[in-house]
Structure 1
Amino acid sequence: MMKKFLMLLLAVMTLPIVNGTEANDEENNETNLVYLLRIFNNINSTSWVHTYKAFDEAEKMEADAILIHLNTYGGQVIFADSIRTKILNSKIPVHVFIDNNAASAGALISIACDSIYMRPGGNIGAATVVNQSGEEMPDKYQSYMRSTIRATAEAHGKDTIITATDTIIKWKRDPQIAEAMVDERVSIPGVIDSGKVLTFTALEAIENGFCEGTANSVEEVLGLLKLRPYELKTYKPSFYDSIKGIVTSPVLQGILVLLIIGGLYFELQSPGIGFPLAVSIIAAILYFAPLYIDGLAANWEILIFIIGLALIAVEIFAIPGFGITGISGIILAFTGLILSLLNNVDFDFSPVDSNSFLTAIATVFSGIFGGFILSLWLSQKLLTSTGGPFSKLALQTSQQNDKGYVSVDTRIKNLTGKTGRAVTVLRPSGRVEVDGVIYDARSSDEFIDKDEPVIVTDFSTAQLVVRKIDD
């Protein structure tokens, strides 16, 4: 009897262990897929391309978590903002391990993540917007950054703490503390005095809710996140991803726009087909190809650009003067370049924010105007300046007329007042025949068709200046 009782008692005691502990062990043995993205350089267009690709791969693999291994002194705000938006909109939890530094743009990215872990001795903060020389930008830039970093902190919501006497609602990440990382005027008692930009050490960040804990490695972070056991998938950028990051930077895109327009301009100024056209075509391929592959530049947007160039060519070669055709061509060419930079879907521009639109316009126009000024400065420094690295390629001496240097036969000046005919179309330059001899000439007022009667009115820059004789 006693033996049966002991067996029954043992069975009862064993039952919850089987249903509880073994079930939990089975649950804990489920492997978590963690996607690791390393950002160890300044935040720029390449960082954004790598982040976009990594998040896309993580979503396709149905990862359980994304971990950003971060060590950066900052970078460009526009790309940091794009990365933080990607993090905030991610369906997969995103965590960051700050390996020493998360300054400026790095702080903005870190605050966007669901949890922050730091190496002991690490730092986070100092997010004031500065230019390339390290000088603080005007307040309108700081205002945008203050608003952005506050909104990023607010996105994590609030905690409700219930005590015996009261209910306390507290921000998980205090927006005012985040703003103090940008604005030196913000003063928070016990945290930062006015006149200083806030930067936290790891322990200070923990005390103020901007860090969940310290760790010395990725493996320790994953342990603190209770993601063990785990399978770690590390993002490895392809050669194309790295090249695309360089090609899609606003600075290089501006230069490519300059080469496209400048190459076409110089090609139209010279006879035949030569080097300027080749430069323009290569620049156009480098500009549109990455955008087309990623779906930003649609077929119709590239077609608009090509139609614009065709209309400009028709205006130059076929239609006298400069009117609606040329203006339409310029508008279409500019529109094609700008639309290719926007993330619109056909004619739906709802996914495009005002910041992206303004950036696209600034990129195209700065590439044309700013790049043109830069090219003039470089040509002066490199070619014409004495001692420049390529100064020997350019003629540095002048040939004076009083020393016998005469480039053309000045006797053609005597042709002023004589009549002849146009041998080619003058638009405005071409060739004319006077007294049975063919000369280079240009029209003084309008395009002149072939075989039209002309009269020589002047002589300039080794050319006859002519005008059409009215019937």
Structure 2
Amino acid sequence: MHKMMGRILLFILLMSAITLPFSDTSAKTTTVYKVPIQNEVEKGLYAFLQRSFAEAEEAGAEAIFLVIDTPGGFTDAAGKIATLMDDTELKIIAYIDNRALSAGAFLALHADEIYMAPSGTMGAAQVIDSAGNAADVKADSAWRAAMVSAAKSSKRDPEYALAMADPNIDLRAYRAGVGELLTLTADDALEVKYSEGTVASFNELLKETGFENAQVISTNETISESIARLITHPIVVPILLSIAGLGLVLELYSPGFGVPGTMAIASLVLFFYGHLVAGLAGYEALILFVIGVGLVIAEIFLPFGIAGAVGALAIIGSIIMAGGNPMHMAISVLIAIAIAVTGMVIIMKFFGKKLHLLNKVVLMDSTDTELGYVSNVNRVELLGREAKTSTPLRPAGTVELDGERIDVVSEGSYIDRGKNVTIVKVEGSRIVVRELEKKGENE
């Protein structure tokens, strides 16, 4: 009996030892994604975050950790990213390891939880225009409302979010009197419940949130996404378009195809490439651009200039379509046109022939009669030669000289066919003849 019981226990232990490894390997490993938000918040960042969120969802991740260090950025880009964050079903935890200012604070408020490094700051979220001044009343009001909504969506006191965007809110307890924007330190944010805790490192954050044993997958921008972020930056876009415009204008004055045309094409290729990668432009914009270029080329062979005008409008329309924000892109196009025209005037007016290198690119020399240029060969060897009219001269017609037919004009009088004439003047293509007098006519 005892032997039987011992064998049963031995069998149970043996089976447990065999099945234990299989049960361990079959257990599902918890996965979290670590996604950085660095530098400025702009349109190109959206493409990177969209890819990262999609990868996290496909991998069955439990949470996404956004490691934020940004001075802010552009409100339209921040709005798209915030919508992306709201639409995902995964838990989003924001970790401010340095600063989350302006649009960065707005994005942090759309996370489910916020943690901060001891030196982290959050706030200063007033809308600033491209000149560095406070935005107009309409844009400022819309942004304040967005900040308040973001705070309410994460169940935080909206007064502090409003104070981050509105300098008229008096919060002296947190060093934000009237005329100053609120910026919370890590201690301040913890006190007003704008953060769930202060942690010194990402590993400490994992322990604090219960993911210390999770597999952490870090995502980083691809080369294409980095290029797209640079190219779609609102400051870079007008520069690219200006280079393209100036290059095309210079190419019009250049013999053949050279450096200006290459620069223009490269700038436009970079523009569309960046906006396609960033998800801002669709193929319809690219197709419209190709159609526009085709019409401009067709203008060489078609009359009236209609094809060229329509092609130019199609190219401008495609660029505006590719930008995501039509108003911003229209402004960029106008800036590019102004810079291209101004640059061309400066180059032609103030440099001209002084730039020897430019002479290889732009045809500066004029061809006029003062410099000895004529549109046709000046056949001075014909002066004094006699010929016979092949057609009547009224006063233009044709004469024959040594078997060659030559277009001529008389001095003004009518000369019949078959008359002998002498060539009295040659001015380029204009050859003047006079009828020979018959012997004895004036005797």
Shared fold (TM-score, shorter chain, > 0.5): yes
Residue number in structure 2 paired with 1:336: 318
Structure 1 pair 331/135, CA: closer, same or farther in 2 (3 Å)?
closer
Aligned residue runs from structure 1 range 25-424, under 5 A: 31-131=29-129, 134-156=132-154, 172-187=155-170, 193-292=177-276, 297-315=281-299, 317-320=301-304, 322-323=305-306, 325-341=307-323, 356=324, 359-363=325-329, 365-375=330-340, 408-410=368-370
What does the per-residue CA deviation read over 1:309-341, in whole Å, with 9 as the maximum and x for residues that have no partner?
222333454213x44x44432332223223334
Structure 1 pair 277/138, CA: closer, same or farther in 2 (3 Å)?
same
Structure 1 pair 413/257, CA: closer, same or farther in 2 (3 Å)?
closer
Quick check: 265-274 or 245-254, which moved more? 265-274
Partner amino acid, structure 2, of 1:340: A
Question: What SS is found at the alignment partner of 1:100?
Answer: strand
Structure 1 pair 244/195, CA: closer, same or farther in 2 (3 Å)?
closer
Deviation, structure 1 residue 407: 7.8
Structure 1 pair 273/190, CA: closer, same or farther in 2 (3 Å)?
closer
- Confirm or deny: 8 A CA contact 1:154 1:174 kept in the other structure: yes
Question: What SS is found at the alignment partner of 2:109?
Answer: helix
- Confirm or deny: 8 A CA contact 1:31 1:228 kept in the other structure: no
- Confirm or deny: 8 A CA contact 1:43 1:80 kept in the other structure: yes
Deviation, structure 1 residue 292: 4.1
Structure 1 pair 106/360, CA: closer, same or farther in 2 (3 Å)?
same
What does the per-residue CA deviation read over 1:250-271, in whole Å, with 9 as the maximum and x for residues that have no partner?
3333333344444444444544
Deviation, structure 1 residue 86: 2.0
Measured in 2, the distance between the counterparts of 1:391 and 1:328 equals 35
Partner amino acid, structure 1, of 2:162: E
- Confirm or deny: 8 A CA contact 1:103 1:125 kept in the other structure: yes
- Confirm or deny: 8 A CA contact 1:115 1:211 kept in the other structure: yes
Structure 1 pair 79/199, CA: closer, same or farther in 2 (3 Å)?
same
- Confirm or deny: 8 A CA contact 1:70 1:96 kept in the other structure: yes
Partner amino acid, structure 2, of 1:369: L
- Alignment size in residue pairs: 352
Identity %: 27
Measured in 2, the distance between the counterparts of 1:133 and 1:362 equals 14
Measured in 2, the distance between the counterparts of 1:49 and 1:249 equals 13
- Confirm or deny: 8 A CA contact 1:383 1:394 kept in the other structure: no
Gaps of 5+ in 2: 1-23, 360-365, 376-394, 397-407, 410-425, 431-443
Partner amino acid, structure 1, of 2:223: F
Deviation, structure 1 residue 46: 4.9
What does the per-residue CA deviation read over 1:334-385, in whole Å, with 9 as the maximum and x for residues that have no partner?
23223334xxxxxxxxxxxxxx4xx23432x334331243356667899988
Question: What SS is found at the alignment partner of 2:260?
Answer: helix
- Confirm or deny: 8 A CA contact 2:203 2:212 kept in the other structure: no
Question: What SS is found at the alignment partner of 1:68?
Answer: strand
What does the per-residue CA deviation read over 1:169-206, in whole Å, with 9 as the maximum and x for residues that have no partner?
xxx21223211101011246966643331121222212
Measured in 2, the distance between the counterparts of 1:312 and 1:47 equals 35
Residue number in structure 2 paired with 1:169: none
Measured in 1, the distance between the counterparts of 2:123 and 2:264 equals 44
The structure with more radius of gyration: 2
Partner amino acid, structure 2, of 1:221: L
Partner amino acid, structure 2, of 1:181: M
- Confirm or deny: 8 A CA contact 2:248 2:264 kept in the other structure: yes
Structure 1 pair 258/193, CA: closer, same or farther in 2 (3 Å)?
closer
Structure 1 pair 221/329, CA: closer, same or farther in 2 (3 Å)?
same
- Confirm or deny: 8 A CA contact 1:45 1:248 kept in the other structure: yes
Structure 1 pair 380/242, CA: closer, same or farther in 2 (3 Å)?
same
Partner amino acid, structure 1, of 2:85: I
Partner amino acid, structure 2, of 1:329: G
Deviation, structure 1 residue 391: 7.9
- Confirm or deny: 8 A CA contact 1:383 1:393 kept in the other structure: no
Measured in 1, the distance between the counterparts of 2:347 and 2:32 equals 52
What does the per-residue CA deviation read over 1:90-148, in whole Å, with 9 as the maximum and x for residues that have no partner?
22111111113212222111111111001224221111123466543333332232122
Question: What SS is found at the alignment partner of 1:62?
Answer: coil
What does the per-residue CA deviation read over 1:232-260, in whole Å, with 9 as the maximum and x for residues that have no partner?
01112222221222122233333333444
Gaps of 5+ in 1: 1-25, 157-171, 342-355, 396-405, 421-432, 440-471
Q: RMSD of the TM alignment (CA)?
A: 3.9
Measured in 2, the distance between the counterparts of 1:379 and 1:308 equals 23
TM-score (norm 2): 0.67
Structure 1 pair 298/44, CA: closer, same or farther in 2 (3 Å)?
closer
- Confirm or deny: 8 A CA contact 1:383 1:392 kept in the other structure: no
Structure 1 pair 295/246, CA: closer, same or farther in 2 (3 Å)?
closer
Question: What SS is found at the alignment partner of 1:181?
Answer: helix
Structure 1 pair 328/377, CA: closer, same or farther in 2 (3 Å)?
closer
Question: What SS is found at the alignment partner of 2:203?
Answer: helix
- Confirm or deny: 8 A CA contact 1:150 1:178 kept in the other structure: yes
Measured in 1, the distance between the counterparts of 2:46 and 2:82 equals 10
- Confirm or deny: 8 A CA contact 2:126 2:164 kept in the other structure: yes
Measured in 2, the distance between the counterparts of 1:307 and 1:116 equals 49
Residue number in structure 2 paired with 1:347: none
Measured in 2, the distance between the counterparts of 1:206 and 1:382 equals 59
TM-score (norm 1): 0.63
